[in-house]
Structure 1
Amino acid sequence: MADGMDLFAYNVNHGATLVAMLRQPRREPSAVLESEAESLQSAKTLNTTAGGESVAEKAAEMVVDKTDETTKVTAEPAASNNEVPVELECDQCDNSLDSKCRKCGCFTCGGKDDEAHTLACDECGYYYHMRCLAVPLKEVPEGDWYCDLCRNDPNDIVIGETKLDLSKSRKSKMPSATTKREWGGGKSCAGMSKSCTVVPSNHIGSIPGVRVGQSWRFRIQVSESGVHRPPVGGIAGGSTTPAMSIVLAGGYPEDDDHGEEFYYTGSGGYDLSGNKRQAKAQSFDQELVRGNRSLALSCAAPVDEINGAVATDWKQSSPVRVCRSYKLAKMHPEFAPKEGVRYDGLYRLVKYWREKGVSGFYVWRYFFRRDDPEPAPWTEEGKQNIERLGLFMYESEDDGMTAKAKGKTPAKSAGTAEAHKRAKIQRTYVPSPELAEMIRLDKQNIRLWTQIGANTYTSESAYLEALSEGELMCPICQELVQQPCTTPCGHNICAPCLRTSMKKYGIICPMCRCDISSMGLADSVHLHMNQNLVTILKALIPSYGLSWDSKFQVACMQRALRTGITVEE
């Protein structure tokens, strides 16, 4: 790596292969040689004089020859840098001038002649005749010189903040690197480039900043937004937790959509092994496991694995986020989007049961009813709300660039393109006056809010994303900061993470290593939580702090009663 650079200064893409080269130190003289050099140096620096002449001057005039089985040391008065010339005996040829040796002679031919045109590698220390090199040299090079085994190609060294040159890689020589065929016709094999950090992955309810009518071109982008996390599966949930979200794509013939209400068929029943992932007919019964069971857990009724159940009060069922895919248009075009995937709001489960499907095998069916304050996107009121909010189909920045590089026009309708253009130019998210007043009171994060306010955001979701993935991401756990503590240097860190860091590394900031002892007692875990920042995050994210706020307040009261000291957290 370049001087002053670390690994984070390089723009390395996901899946890239790095080759690290470690420079080894030179071989040092033996212990006997070091002792001889130290004794000679001490004799030169001795301040005692003999007969008006210093011992150091006498030692400089002497030539000390001492030869034993391992070492020969010679002191010359002409050494200007006070270094002792050293000659080591070769353990392979005993310094014989007649025998060839690759250790003390030329590493290529083993010869020991023509010392005037013999080069020593500054890395490995081996000798080379200038005539024996792969590219023979006629003149002695100036400065450092490295042999072919130690020399690095400057083109393979990545300078800070630059990308790797893959033009000579093995991948660039494969046929797939230059093929013109479009494999998949979309993002079927694309991986996630980011993840939602505004709320946890098991969050139930609406996602802050995502409004009804928001749409995405690809399923992978829906997963990145946090609305529906699985990039392929239709049900988000496990066997022990209620379902968080589902996607209506018309995958089963039993699906029946009426907009405000719909009948959803559970997952399973298709043989997806081997090369049968495009199976058209159900081949076995569905079971109430995994995603199917998570839907049953969201119903306000005990789980019945045989007959199903009906909610005692469907309003008390767990809310489920519902998205509709353009694939649903083949069955219910009046409620399906024309393209991409659209978020249609929260629904609650009324009942679920087991019955025989069209194929003759048993399926689990679920009856949902809409319960969202925002209007449905297919209604006139919903269309006006989408226009008022400036919602448009989300497309990542590289989608248009990829299409242009192929000489094609991005596949989107004229209405979507116009809405996208209008939102990009006119729509800008501005915090409400109440939120702006809360931000003004947060004096500890003046630098943060000034930097955030200097940028423009097309939606509330983009605003929250900039906060959760920027200054309000804890540098230790890499999540949205919880129980935030703002250090005197202006960094926001989770209180539990900061306590752990203080125990291991001392009372210093994990980001910039400045002293933060003013935040609390040096030997205590009593840290001052930034209540102004908590108020702002609760206003932006209604579910923020639900997992720790009540426990934190109880702990503060108990500590105050036990110690008699009230700590302002």
Structure 2
Amino acid sequence: MTEKEKARRRREIVSGKQIWINENEEDEGEEKDVLSVLGESIKCPFCYMLLDRPVTMSCGHNFCLKCFKKWIGQGKDTCVKCRSQINRQMIDQPRINLVLVTAIRLVKESRKNVALRRPQTAYPQVNQEDRPDNPFIREGAAKKAGMANASSGRIFVTIPTDHFGPILAENDPERNQGVLVGESWTHRLNCRQWGVHWPHVAGIAGQAKYGAQSVVLSGGYEDDEDHGEWFLYTGSGGRDLSGNKRTNKDQSFTNSNEALRVSCKQGYPVRVVRSHKEKRSSYAPQDGLRYDGVYRIEKCWRKLGIQGYKVCRYLFVRCDNEPAPWTSDEHGDKPRPLPEIPELEEALGIFERAHTSSWDYDEEEGRWKWKKPPPPSQQRVIGASLKDGKRTKKTPRKSQETSVKGTLLKGFCCVLCKNILTLPMTTPCAHNFCKACLEEAFKGKAFIKERKCHNGRKLRSQKNFMKCPTCPLDISEFLQNPQVNRELEDAIGRLREEFYESDNNKEDANEEVIEEDEKPSNDNKL
């Protein structure tokens, strides 16, 4: 290295634009550091593998969702590590800890030397404040609860309403990235603005002779079953319109139900949105709506429903190139065998696709793609406004260069104070809080509410409902004996030490270079 190159490199280090020569070697060393820090902390005590769909007990221990369900299925109701009693809410409806999912995915990406300096797109949140137009209620309109009488704001994507498959970057002039798996919205109208699901109320978007483009899982029918990568969906119709969610007549393959059957016949990809209203699913978001990628309908049939009427049923199987929000895998889906459905033995009119799918997996390219041309659109393109006949594109911001450890640390943040978790506690709804923040949120609240009659006579005491700070789930039972998540605390503590130690080493190296640069050279001597 010549003297000029040395001087240039010193200037780059001082200005913060240092270029590392052995960047790949440093990345490999950093990957080993991350695995050595988090390896034991994020392993399941049952299968001794990295946690897959991790669930956190009230005692603070973590397990794979599949292993946990197998343990509960054996009639066990105590933690396998500490033998403490498992919360009844966790047994009935285990929730996936998305913070651990993000951490495990980053570790897996670091194994394959994936550059983590770009913005993480696993769980992008569409902020309402950043949008130029939001759903609004017109002046003079009748006042109704919630968003029942709201109007949709500007559409941000340039696609027709009958667009099939994922929404790509070329259809997203606002951000130039498309709609990513894991994006979430507050209302159905926000979901409409990004073209993921167009109807305001209906759960199925489609046309009887053309096919269905998207569905929403919102817990409308008792027969629905959600298993993440596949689910059983109940068609529309047969409802009592008085609002009690009862079925009072048989469903048939007409209208939206026929649209789903057409998509099954042709093998079209169907966009799937999960809503927080689906309380029975472990894969539903805690609030709002979340885009979970595209699925393909493999079979459809009719059966006698729980309420005694015939309902249309559909088997959806995930087929997206992006990983699901609840899994720690860094790759998308691959073709998988169809699950066994016990109810098919008594099903009526089973329909299964007889020819190749329009949307299928390409073994050579290793991804899902259109094997046949997508159906031509029958609707006009609705989208962002054009200026001078050209789409305006926003250039993505350059991401700040952060280490793997720094990226992981940012993921371990408290929902309330937005700082890195200290003495982390994981509630049954899989939200993570600092111990001090959670205690402050419920300070002065009693678990039992004493009641008295108007004449002073004491009534039976009543349990006080304590809602989670971020979701409507009652966590009063958890708060009676809250436990710190020691595994998560240990991982954060060791990660913090490693991160700050590496930062200090870099600062010391920079100071040495600066001091060397400030020394007078021999050329200046007289």
Same fold, TM-score > 0.5, yes or no: no
Give TM-score, length-normalised by structure 2: 0.35
Higher relative contact order (CA 8 A, sep 6+): 2
Give TM-score, length-normalised by structure 1: 0.32
Max Rg structure: 1
